[in-house]
Chains A and B, each alone.
Chain A
Amino acid sequence: MSSREQSPHATAPDRDRLTSLLRRIVDGDQQAFAMLYDELAPAVFGIVRNVLRDAAMSEEVTQEVFVDLWRQAKRYDPSKASPRTWACTIAHRKAVDRVRSEQARRRREDRDHQSSVMVAADTVTEVIERQETRGEVRAALASLSPAQREAVTLAYFEGRTYRDVATLLSIPEGTAKTRIRDGLQKLRTRMGREL
């Protein structure tokens, strides 16, 4: 990944480039799909790995995500989301589906409680401190109250339900919902002008 000041992702050229790749992919162009993979794989893998942690499982799910992008390409609707948002949404959902079905199989142990809260804090600190992180993203995350940041991190980056968030932080469910909601609204306001 580059250390460009300006992320290419939020820009119109990024969207246009990916959209034109998708147009070729719709015709079954596998070479275009390879290019799409190169563009999106780090983003997708990053999202999936944050949620799943496990490397092997993350690879599996990343593969599922890309096969899905291929299968669904003709159904992609540019009026609903940019190609990048579309891919990230599918990546997050598939990772979350996987982690929850794993959870259903073996309920999380209690000690997981402590470690995940700590990891949550790490994830965001890491993002904020990472060199590549755009000033804007960093500022948006930093604008959250510590409580909101924690809740948003657990819910989004780690793919927890609000109920899990409440349990992990020992707060009422309503409070967890409010923190996540308020945190996301704040991020939206902070980053909104770019959208």
Chain B
Amino acid sequence: MTTDLHQLAPLFAIDALEATELTQFELHLSTCVTCTAEVAELRQVVAEFSDATASEPPASLRATVLSAIARTPQLDADRKAGSELDRASLDRDVSHTPLASNVIEPVSGQVASLADARNKRRRRLSAPLAAAAAVLMLVAVFGLSRGPGDTDVISEVVSAPDAIVTELAPASAAGDAMLEIVWSADRDQVVVRGSGLSELTPEQEYQIWFLVDGGAIGSATFVVENGAVNTVLDVEDRDTGGWGITIEPVGGSDVPTSPVIFSASM
């Protein structure tokens, strides 16, 4: 199946994509201006029909809604991170989207190239076996987060002259989880700091994605302890337009297999 990711824009605009393709497309959308424009335009077109399908709700609903909002605090406007991402997708209720544990079919030519990119990375890590890489990565994460020298490395990355701090926006507006990535391209390292994150099963890890033109490229994985993380990870030597975080099987995936839980564009 070779479908251009761009071609999924109309289906996405009317919520007609399968859950498994949603994540992939949302990541694409965060860096594709063409699709962003197309989605916005099509949403406006279908909204035109709301007039023709309008239906008066029961009168009692008005009071119910007004008393509900009177009890509901408004969210702050200031959410720099993720502002470029499609707002609607950010607000998607992740809890309703089943974690796709099944294998994702490649939906585009780009997916294949993402997989290639990842494979290249694995070769660069000089750990030809994915499993071996995963184990090494896991060791690295635990080693770093426990080791006494760790705080030094963290502060080195954070104070690197080229360090870029990006606060990621949670996909589920309800959660009070936070996550930020400090990236030093010169050092090929990131510091990941977060709290309020969900605990994972032993088979899962959080994975960082580079958001680039045309999709997402999988990078390092990490785990949390009591919902918190503060660690240094080695990442690829490459540019990125933003960051995404998903939950993946240990060792990470070539393409995202679950909804994006945090993202930000830069």
Chain A interface (Cβ < 8 Å from any Cβ of B): 1, 7, 9-10, 26, 28, 30, 33-34, 37-38, 41-47, 49-50, 58-59, 62-63, 66-68, 70-75, 77, 80-82, 84-85, 88-90, 92-94, 96-98, 100-101, 104, 123, 127, 130, 132-134, 137-138, 155-157, 159-163, 165, 177, 180-181, 184-185, 187-188, 191-192, 194-195
Contact = CB atoms under 8 A, between A and B. Distances in A.
Given A46-B54, A75-B77, A93 B92 contact: yes
A42 B57 contact: yes
B11 A33 contact: no
B72 A67 contact: yes
Interface string B72-96: 1111110100010001100111001
Interface in B60-75: 61-62, 64-66, 68-70, 72-75
B176 interface: no
A59 B58 contact: yes
A185 B65 CA distance: 36
B11 A181 contact: yes
Interface stretch (B41-49, B109-117, B216-224): B41-49
A2 to B, nearest CB: 10
Contacts of A68: 91
A1 B47 CA distance: 16
A156 B17 CA distance: 11
B25 to A, nearest CB: 12
B74 A97 contact: no
A137 B49 contact: yes
Interface residues of B, number: 55
Contact of A89 (B16, B18, B69, B88): B88
29 contacts: A1-B56, A7-B51, A34-B66, A41-B56, A43-B54, A45-B56, A58-B57, A59-B58, A63-B65, A66-B65, A71-B73, A72-B91, A75-B75, A75-B77, A77-B87, A82-B47, A84-B50, A92-B15, A97-B92, A98-B96, A123-B53, A132-B52, A155-B11, A163-B18, A180-B10, A184-B42, A188-B41, A191-B45, A195-B45
Contacts of B17: 161-162
Contacts of B7: 177, 181
A89 B76 CA distance: 21
B167 to A, nearest CB: 15
A171 B251 CA distance: 38
A177 B25 CA distance: 15
B102 interface: no
B16 A180 contact: yes
A184 B47 CA distance: 12
B98 interface: yes
Given A49-B55, A62-B61, A195-B41, A88 B50 contact: yes
B15 A134 contact: no
Nearest to A74: B77
A192 B41 CA distance: 9
B191 interface: no
A81 B43 contact: yes
B40 interface: yes
Contact of A42 (B10, B56, B74): B56
B255 interface: no
A96 to B, nearest CB: 4
Contacts of B57: 41-42, 44-45, 58-59, 62
The 5 lowest CB-CB distance pairs between A and B, nearest first, are A74-B77, A43-B50, A42-B54, A88-B47, A45-B57
A187 B58 contact: no
Contacts of A159: 15-16
Contacts of A133: 51-52
Nearest to A76: B87
B14 interface: yes
A92 to B, nearest CB: 6
Given A45-B56, A68-B91, A187-B45, A161 B18 contact: yes
